[in-house]
Structure 1
Amino acid sequence: MAITVPETIRRTATAGERQLFNTLKEYLPDDYIVYYEPEINGKRPDFVIIGPDLGLIVLEVKDYVKSSLFQINQDTWTLYTTSGEQTTVKNPLLQAREYMFHISDRLKKDANLVNHEGKYKFKLKFPCGYGAVFTRMYQKDFIEYQLYNVVEPGMSLTRDEIDPSHELFDEEVLIEKILNMFTVPYRLREPLTYEDINAIRYHLFPEVRISAEFKEPIPHQDHLLLSLHDIKTMDLHQENLAKQLGDKNRLIRGVAGSGKTLILASRAKLLAKEHPDWKILILCYNISLAQNIRHIINNMFEEQRDLFDFDFEIEEGPEKEIKHNIEVFNFHAWIKNKLKIGEHHIPSIIKLLDEGNAILPQYDAVMIDEGQDFEKEWFQLVSRLLNPETQSLLLVEDRAQDIYKRKRSYVQDTGLDFRGRSKILTINYRNTAQIVKFAWDFYQKHSELKNKIVERGFEGEIIAPQSTKRKGPEPAIIKRNSFKQEMMEVVKIMKRLHTDNKVPYDEMIILYRVKRSKNADYIATIKWALAQADIPYYWITESAVAKRNYKKDDGNVKVSTIDSSKGLDFQAVFIVNVDNMPFALEEDPEREASLLYIAMTRAQNYLSLSYSGESEFTTYLDEVREKRSRVIRLREMHR
């Protein structure tokens, strides 16, 4: 079964489009992607198919009946309309061909997607083809009316070739025809890689772009070929969700690392594009997360520019703000700067709004990240400032990361019913399988909510994560005699990751629970160890100003409390001083389990937990270390 984008076809699609959509989805291979009516740089072909062993095919769909045909030739077709009048249109095959060239002309400007030697130098390294589908005409009609004189048999499909219920339908014939819809048919010697297909999606669909590294462009004739590396895009599941969330109020519940923030940001960008006159608001709890979302949104709009218009002679300067109609705030900054109120004013403001005695900004769409952290009254305030005509409220949450234990009913808090309007994301894309299992095993062991863990549900349950197939090293557990020794080991690992594994320093973060105790100044020791190792760092949680000025890609190792790391991710995460957890002054031990789970799931590839004292959590880590040692001893005994 092929992957379709969107997952389901729109209600207003014609019966023929619906038939073809379902047939392609059912009968094409699992690794094929079928796009229905994608917008590609101002053009909207009916179907675009991408397959590793296929290349790219554009299909134009027509619901013509034989009685509507008046006069046809290679270029134009004259048809009778339903009112009996005549109209002239382009030959459907010619239209599909033009769409195909429109697409291939864009793709062949990317050095990654063209041949660099041989007969086809600087031509696409995969074939692009096209065809026309006639959903209400049969092969016998084409023969009777001699339509194959103007539409090549190999470049067209008729009803009996796409309708599985028809006696002449043959799955193998369908796939064979699609595989050969090229002017000069040929098969790929080497299938397209995951990176190739990602690059194609990156160029054709700007809305899925996350980032890419630009290298020196390659000269070719009178223009330059783009040279992009480390291309990152939304995966197909995330793309589908962002594009097909639907209107009005929606709820996304997902595990850590499932791309919730990315989907939220992409949804905001899509709405901004569709409704440039709308006021769109994104809210979250943490200052550093708000700054990170601003950066994601800014990058998304920057990435959506036409890549082929870039001036490579201009040197990179500081990040500039891209103009758009999306505001991003942490909640307290929003009420202070936009509403000019404090949190204690919220109940009275809600009362005044209900009585019609207050005027505050109204938003056409509101999106709330980490919704589990919001108070009941915050939701009540936000919902009253939402345009009642749009009711476009998107809530994103993961209750395993609920460190503030807010009690709520979204129906009561917002006045909106989310039943039947929610999506659940169970796949963790951020972390390796080893990190996901390690973090989830810990959470299940120490969370009082473990009996509420379910695979599916609406409100009140914790979602169990499923990992992607990405593998990595087991999380490191480091035990030392003092915090100073602990930090010396941490900076040694940082140096090794940076030198041997090429992990940038700004892709590393040190997370701590408390900055000092009566016997130790942990922050001072962290700063000392980093300085001794000559590792540049930025202390995110030094102050509110530092949080607001946070920028990930500044070349510095980050240092932060666990609380402020929510929503962030790094290639390497070092959780230090774990013996201070559960924190003695924290009244709610459940919060501590959630905090450490949050900290662990910030790590994409490398996770380290270190301690030099004893606590409930370090006792658990000691047990894990001992189990690992036993496994190693058993393996050595059986060699």
Structure 2
Amino acid sequence: MATIIPNIHASTTKMTTGERRFGQRLEKLLEDDYLCWFDVPVGQARRYPDFIILHPGRGLLFLEVKDWKLSTIQSMNHQTFTLLTASGAVNKPNPIEQARQCAYQVVNTLKHDKTLVQPKGKHQGNLVCPYGYGVVFTNISRKQLQTALGEEGESILPAHLVICQDEMLEKTDPEEFQQRLWAMFNYQFSQKLSLPQIDRIRAHLFPEIRIGTADLFAVTDAAASGAMDVVDIVKVMDMQQEQLARSFGEGHRVVHGVAGSGKTLILGFRCWYLARTQSKPILVLCYNISLAAKLRAFMREKGIEQQVQVYHFHDWCGQQLRSYHIDLIDGAEPVWERQVLSVIQSVDQGHIPRAQYGAVLIDEGHDFEAEWLKLVVQMIDPETNSLLLLYDDAQSIYKKKSNLNFTLSSVGIQARGRTSILKLNYRNTREILQFAFNFAKDFLQEKDADEDSVPLVKPEVGGKSGMAPEFRKLNNRPEELTFIRRCLQKWHSDGVAWNEMAVIYCHHHFGEALARELNLYAIPNLCMRDNKTRRQYDPSDDQVLLVTRPSSKGLEFPRVIVAELGALQDDEEKRAEEVRLLYVAMTRAQETLLLTASGENSYVRRLGVIN
């Protein structure tokens, strides 16, 4: 079964009757290795072909789908079709010419990328895969079309570039259907596209799914000659992530995803989409201050920082109080708690308006209290009613309980029928994910839940293989600090950028001591010792990040050291919380994970067993 993006079964996917019928045929009659996009804008010109089909062995196909009936076609020629409508005669482009122009524009863009061009042979200079174009008439049979076209038919609508109503029936033979599609190509190549090449084509077709801002045309000679794998040059959303992100409609949506499954990436894509369609501002909330800083950097990278407001939840509460000149209520509770209570009270009294935002997106929903969610839901404009809640119960580290003790509907989130689960972890290597899960599995037992509650989902491996994590036990803290510093220096001498490394520690005094050690050797670093430094975090700054386990949530780095594990206390009441914190810290590592300790406790002994 082919993958169709967006999901054609979603009620929000806008299709004509004929487009949906043809999409169903593609899904049913094509195999799993076919990728199909419906009505997704491509390239810089943002053209909207009805369907794009990509197959590793066949190539790229661009199709226009028309629900026209023969009785409504008044005349046709090489350039235009004249249709009879309720408003009179209307000229439309010849759909073959329409598909051809779209195909040529895309192909010309792809051919600027040296890694997607044939380097030699009879096809030298051509795209690495064949391409074709055609038209589908969902309400006109082959016989009707041939009769209407007459002698000039082949020049106006070449027969091999057309699929007719009677050739896309539910009972149509899959092989016959596919042959009609591939007859639209002028040539074939024996070599199949690699997965990195497919991802690179997707990145050119749909720039919004790129992870990062790398210029795809800035290809080195080594890459162009094949000496460098193109996967090292571009990263894009995977197919499940893209399908889910493009299939969101209006209303409330909930995504339960394991660590590293791309929840934040999906949030960013949704922001990009909403920024192009919403007139009111868009609000993004999370619990972690450093994650908020990272998300703001992401919005700047995508050029949507003016439309999308990103806040740590308590910062947003403070901003609301300042904007509407609301005094903080008195009480013995901490300031941050009184800020939340003050906003809730002011909204109830009408001093702070509801419906301020065209959409609200919440990352780290597992750390939000019921009262916070109930407050935030009121901030959504009821005309758009657009909410996205992202959640991973395994990363719920700020509550005594390991899961929400309330239903989503009780706080105003209408999630039934609008929930999705992401089980595949793409951030970590297989070895890192298995190591982290083996360490924490006693506290991460998978549990089911209905759509109005939140499940705990066991992660499944989706990433590549790599080096096994390592655990090093040192004699004392000075030795541990020295060892960490030397590791960072060694990695950097091997070509790893400073901002691709992070040290995650347990207590601030260790982080401060490590910062002093690194400063002595002129190693650039940012120690997130307080809220001010957390807000200053910019992932693009070339410096090693020194961060606590809670503040590391939502972040990721190619190389991570989880340090100071010997300083954890063997407190049985806090064990579940400590293990979850360590699980979060370990799963920040994309490629290399090193754990260090200079003391003795149950955590150190457990690491010694599983290492």
Deviates more, 1:397-406 or 1:147-156: 147-156
Deviates more, 1:610-619 or 1:344-353: 344-353
Secondary structure of the 1:232 match is: coil
Distance (whole Å) between structure 1 residues aligned to residue 499 and residue 562 of structure 2: 16
8 Å CA contact 1:582, 1:592 repeated in 2: no
Q: Which runs of 5+ in 1 are unaligned?
A: 220-226, 302-321, 517-521, 626-639
Distance (whole Å) between structure 1 residues aligned to residue 479 and residue 452 of structure 2: 46
1:466 pairs with 2:469: no
Counterpart amino acid of residue 524 in structure 2 = Y
1:189 pairs with 2:183: no
Distance (whole Å) between structure 1 residues aligned to residue 60 and residue 216 of structure 2: 26
Residue 603 of structure 2 corresponds to 617
Please point out which of 94, 99, 102 is paired with 1:96.
99
Q: Please state how far the C-alpha of 1:332 moved relative to its aligned partner.
A: 1.8
Residue 80 of structure 2 corresponds to 76
Distance (whole Å) between structure 2 residues aligned to residue 56 and residue 575 of structure 1: 45
1:325 pairs with 2:307: yes
Deviates more, 1:202-211 or 1:348-357: 348-357
Q: Please state how far the C-alpha of 1:365 moved relative to its aligned partner.
A: 1.2
Residue 595 of structure 1 corresponds to 581
Residue 504 of structure 2 corresponds to 511
Residue 635 of structure 1 corresponds to none
Counterpart amino acid of residue 395 in structure 2 = Q
Counterpart amino acid of residue 239 in structure 1 = E
Residue 56 of structure 2 corresponds to 52
Q: Please state how far the C-alpha of 1:453 moved relative to its aligned partner.
A: 3.1
Question: Number of aligned pairs?
Answer: 580
Residue 398 of structure 1 corresponds to 392
Distance (whole Å) between structure 1 residues aligned to residue 119 and residue 592 of structure 2: 36
8 Å CA contact 1:287, 1:564 repeated in 2: yes
Going from structure 1 to structure 2, the CA distance change for 1:37 and 1:101 (only over 3 Å counts) comes to same
1:106 pairs with 2:109: yes
Residue 275 of structure 2 corresponds to 272
Q: Please state how far the C-alpha of 1:414 moved relative to its aligned partner.
A: 2.8
8 Å CA contact 2:6, 2:246 repeated in 1: yes
Counterpart amino acid of residue 199 in structure 2 = N
Q: Please state how far the C-alpha of 1:75 moved relative to its aligned partner.
A: 2.7
Residue 557 of structure 1 corresponds to 544
Residue 306 of structure 1 corresponds to none
Q: Please state how far the C-alpha of 1:595 moved relative to its aligned partner.
A: 0.3
Pairwise mapping of residues 193-342 of structure 1 onto structure 2 (< 5 A)?
A: 193-214=194-215, 230-275=233-278, 277-301=279-303, 323-340=305-322
Listed one character per residue, the Cα deviations across residues 515-558 of structure 1 (whole Å, up to 9, x for unaligned) are 34xxxxx33552355356x4623233123221111122322221
Distance (whole Å) between structure 2 residues aligned to residue 393 and residue 45 of structure 1: 29
Distance (whole Å) between structure 1 residues aligned to residue 163 and residue 409 of structure 2: 53
Q: Please state how far the C-alpha of 1:408 moved relative to its aligned partner.
A: 4.1
Listed one character per residue, the Cα deviations across residues 417-471 of structure 1 (whole Å, up to 9, x for unaligned) are 32222211111110111111111122113x2x53x53498652431111111411
Listed one character per residue, the Cα deviations across residues 213-269 of structure 1 (whole Å, up to 9, x for unaligned) are 3488589xxxxxxx9972122112111222222212221111100111111121112
8 Å CA contact 1:272, 1:324 repeated in 2: no
Counterpart amino acid of residue 100 in structure 2 = R
Distance (whole Å) between structure 2 residues aligned to residue 216 and residue 176 of structure 1: 34
Distance (whole Å) between structure 1 residues aligned to residue 555 and residue 137 of structure 2: 49
Counterpart amino acid of residue 63 in structure 1 = D
Distance (whole Å) between structure 1 residues aligned to residue 450 and residue 410 of structure 2: 23
Q: Please state how far the C-alpha of 1:339 moved relative to its aligned partner.
A: 2.8
Counterpart amino acid of residue 32 in structure 1 = Y
Distance (whole Å) between structure 2 residues aligned to residue 456 and residue 607 of structure 1: 35
Going from structure 1 to structure 2, the CA distance change for 1:162 and 1:356 (only over 3 Å counts) comes to same
Counterpart amino acid of residue 244 in structure 1 = S
8 Å CA contact 1:339, 1:360 repeated in 2: no
Distance (whole Å) between structure 1 residues aligned to residue 496 and residue 113 of structure 2: 26
8 Å CA contact 1:480, 1:612 repeated in 2: yes
Distance (whole Å) between structure 1 residues aligned to residue 609 and residue 547 of structure 2: 27
Counterpart amino acid of residue 599 in structure 1 = A
Listed one character per residue, the Cα deviations across residues 55-102 of structure 1 (whole Å, up to 9, x for unaligned) are 211111112333334433333333444x49544332221221122123
Q: Please state how far the C-alpha of 1:496 moved relative to its aligned partner.
A: 3.9
Please point out which of 425, 433, 436 is paired with 1:436.
433
Extract structure 1 runs of 4+ deviating beyond 6 A: none
Going from structure 1 to structure 2, the CA distance change for 1:383 and 1:86 (only over 3 Å counts) comes to closer
Residue 527 of structure 1 corresponds to 515
Residue 477 of structure 1 corresponds to 471
Distance (whole Å) between structure 2 residues aligned to residue 515 and residue 357 of structure 1: 39
Residue 19 of structure 1 corresponds to 21
Distance (whole Å) between structure 2 residues aligned to residue 57 and residue 359 of structure 1: 50
Going from structure 1 to structure 2, the CA distance change for 1:34 and 1:613 (only over 3 Å counts) comes to same
Per the normalisation by structure 1, the TM-score is 0.84
Q: Please state how far the C-alpha of 1:412 moved relative to its aligned partner.
A: 5.9
Q: Which runs of 5+ in 2 are unaligned?
A: 221-229, 323-327, 329-334
Secondary structure of the 1:333 match is: helix
Q: Please state how far the C-alpha of 1:153 moved relative to its aligned partner.
A: 1.9
Distance (whole Å) between structure 2 residues aligned to residue 383 and residue 469 of structure 1: 35
Going from structure 1 to structure 2, the CA distance change for 1:31 and 1:324 (only over 3 Å counts) comes to farther
